[in-house]
Each structure stands twice: as structure tokens, then as C-alpha cells.
Amino acid sequence: MKRLLLAAALGFAGLFATTDALAQRTDTTYVKPQLPTGPPAVPPPAPAQPTRPVYTQPQQPAQPQPTQPVRPSGGIDDDGRSAQPLPGSRPAQPAAPATPQRPGGGIDDDGRPAQTLPQNGTVPGATLQSEYQPGKLFLYGSLLRFGLSSNFFSGVDFSAGFAPALGYRITDKLSVAAGPVFVYHSVDFGPDATSLGLPAGGYKFKDVGVRGLAQFTVYKNIFLQAEYESTRSQDCVVNELVPRRQYESFRTQGNTQALLVGVGYRQRLGDRFAVDGALLYNTNSDLNYYGILIQRLSLVYNLGGK
């Protein structure tokens, strides 16, 4: 028994000695690890993955949020008491007076729906007053052909007439007219007519004829006028006898022509009426009963127009 115990003890001692010897041996194959000193290695790029469409949900229209009524200071609360400002709120500042605007679709001062004023400045429903434009036709007449003068026998020569005409405007500046002529005139030989061998009552004559005229406006209301007249006129002839202060007279009748030219001025009396005053020169005074210078006063009345 003792031998067995001694052998086991020697076996254990040898085992521990072999282990210590192995622990003290240097392993010549061990190499100390070295840290890398070069640039870091770049990993290869990953293959591109196919992209999938991203689904986006359609946006819903924004719903208007109800606004909370603001209770201004100084108003009346629901319970009838004076409203008090909310804690932490600022007192309302008085707004600057704004220029009144009349938006379309609102209510006007008279309670009717307001209308937006057009860009040209006209008021809806207002009547536009445009300048009157005369028509093509017009009436033209000498109001009075009046003449009064003394004669060689201390008598008076008197004449008066009227000449209506229908006119037509060719252009805004040029117009023509034509119509009949009526003239009444008388010759008085004075208080000594009987002693001179002349009729005491003198002579009375009536002339009838036609005329035509043309007017051309040169500047605003100033115009030039040319007029031609042919009249079946009556007159008298007085011849001196011998001895002197003795005369004989008799009636005559014939056609006379007058060509009158001159300048005139038109004074408007509203949209339809106007008055023309003209000073005309008689180019052939020896062939008619007119004098050298003739003054005319005529009335113009526009027919139609807008």
C-alpha cells in the first residue's frame, strides 16, 4: 500500500514539473501584430437597386376654419354687461379711416345692389349727353329783305321780301340751298307828285323769282357765301319833259339777275336753330333793283340730326 501511494505521488510531481517546463519555453513562431499605416480601403460600390415609385396621397383642399369672434373692449357682453378685455390680450387700436370703396355685389346707400364703376368713369344708368350732330337737310330763309331810302322827288322807296329755301349739306363745311323769292316794293314821289306830272299815290310792285346759294365754312362760324337770283320784277320809268319840272312816268316789267358774293357769320341758338348775318356785294347792280352792298339776315333750322 505504501508503494502505491509513493508511486502516485511521484507521478503527480512529474506531471507538474513537465507543465512548468512547457510554460517557460519561448514560442519562436509568434509574430507581433502590426497596425495598418496605409489609406483605408474603399469598399466596392453596391449595385444600384431599382427604385420604386413613391405613392403620394392627393392633398385635400383646405377647409376654412371658423374664426372665433373677437370681443372688442368697450362692447356689450352676452349677459348685457360691458365686455371686458380677455387676460393677456391687447386693447384694440382705432383703425385709420379708410377711403370708402363700393365693391361689386355689395349694398349701395339706397339699398340696391352696388355696381362697380366702369373704367371710363361713366355712372351706370346715367344718360350720356353727346354733342348734337345736325342732319343733311335744313331750312334756310331770309327773315326780312328790307329797304328804305329817299328818291330824287323827295319821296320814299320801300321794299321788303322773304325767300325760303331748302338746303342740303354736302360736307361738314360745304352746303347748298335753293328756293323761291317774293319781294314787295313801292315808290312814292312825295307831296309835289301831282304838280310834277307824276301819280300822287306812286307805284306798288310785286316781284317773284328763284334763287340758289352756296356756303363754305372757312373758320368755326365764319363762312363765305355766293348767291344767284333771277326775278320777274316790276319797276317804273320817269322821263323829264320840257319845260323843266315836268315829268312823265310809266310801269315796266322784265327779268333781272343778281350775282351776290360776300362773307357771313353764324350764331347758333341751340341744337336746331341758328341765325346767319351776311354782307354781300352786288356784282351787276345795273341789272337789278339791289344796291351795291346788301345786308342779309337769315334763319337756319336743322331737320333731323342726332
- Given a cut of 90, whether residue 225 has pLDDT beyond it is yes
Identify whether 206 is part of a domain. yes
The model's confidence at residue 216, banded by pLDDT at 50, 70 and 90, is very high
Q: Is 233 exposed, middle or buried (0-12, 13-18, 19+ CB in 10 A)?
A: buried
- Given a cut of 60, whether residue 24 has pLDDT beyond it is no
Identify whether 107 is part of a domain. no
**Separation of alpha carbons 294 and 144, rounded Å:** 12
Identify whether 207 is part of a domain. yes
| Helix (H) or strand (E) segment spanning residue 276 | strand 273-282
Tell me which residue range forms the domain holding 141: 137-302
Q: Are 306 and 129 in contact (CB under 8 A)?
A: no
Mean predicted lDDT score pLDDT of the chain: 75
Minimum mean pLDDT range among 21-25, 68-72, 94-98: 21-25
Q: Are 302 and 271 in contact (CB under 8 A)?
A: yes
Minimum mean pLDDT range among 32-46, 191-205, 238-252, 265-279: 32-46
- Given a cut of 80, whether residue 73 has pLDDT beyond it is no
User: Global pTM?
Assistant: 0.50
Max mean pLDDT among 119-123, 223-227, 247-251, 282-286 falls in 223-227
* Distances 148 to 151, 160, 183, 186, 297 between C-alpha atoms, Å: 10, 9, 14, 10, 16
More reliable by pLDDT, 190 or 305: 190
- Which residues, in sequence order, are CB contacts of 7 under 8 Å at separation 6+? none
Whole-number pLDDT of residue 195: 81
* CB environment 236-264: b (16+ within 10 A), e (fewer): eebeeeeeeeebebeeeeeebebebebeb
Minimum mean pLDDT range among 55-59, 251-255, 289-293: 55-59
* Mean pLDDT within 256-281: 92
Q: Are 236 and 247 in contact (CB under 8 A)?
A: no
Residues written for the chain: 306
Q: Identify the CATH number of the domain in which residue 154 sits.
A: 2.40.160.20
Minimum mean pLDDT range among 105-114, 177-186, 231-240, 269-278: 105-114
Whole-number pLDDT of residue 246: 80
Name residue 187's beta-bridge partners. Answer: 157, 203
Identify whether 227 is part of a domain. yes
Whole-number pLDDT of residue 179: 95
Coil, strand, or helix at residue 135? coil
- Residue 157 CA, chain-centre distance (Å), reads 57
pLDDT digits (tens, 9 = 90+) for 142-160: 766 666 777 777 788 888 8
* CB environment 107-128: b (16+ within 10 A), e (fewer): eeeeeeeeeeeeeeeeeeeeee
The model's confidence at residue 223, banded by pLDDT at 50, 70 and 90, is very high
Identify whether 171 is part of a domain. yes
**Separation of alpha carbons 15 and 13, rounded Å:** 5
Whole-number pLDDT of residue 279: 93
More reliable by pLDDT, 300 or 61: 300
**Domain count along the chain:** 1
- Rounded (5°) CA angle 292-165-223: 55
Q: Using the 8-state DSSP alphabet, how is residue 261 labeled?
A: E
Identify whether 36 is part of a domain. no
Identify whether 287 is part of a domain. yes
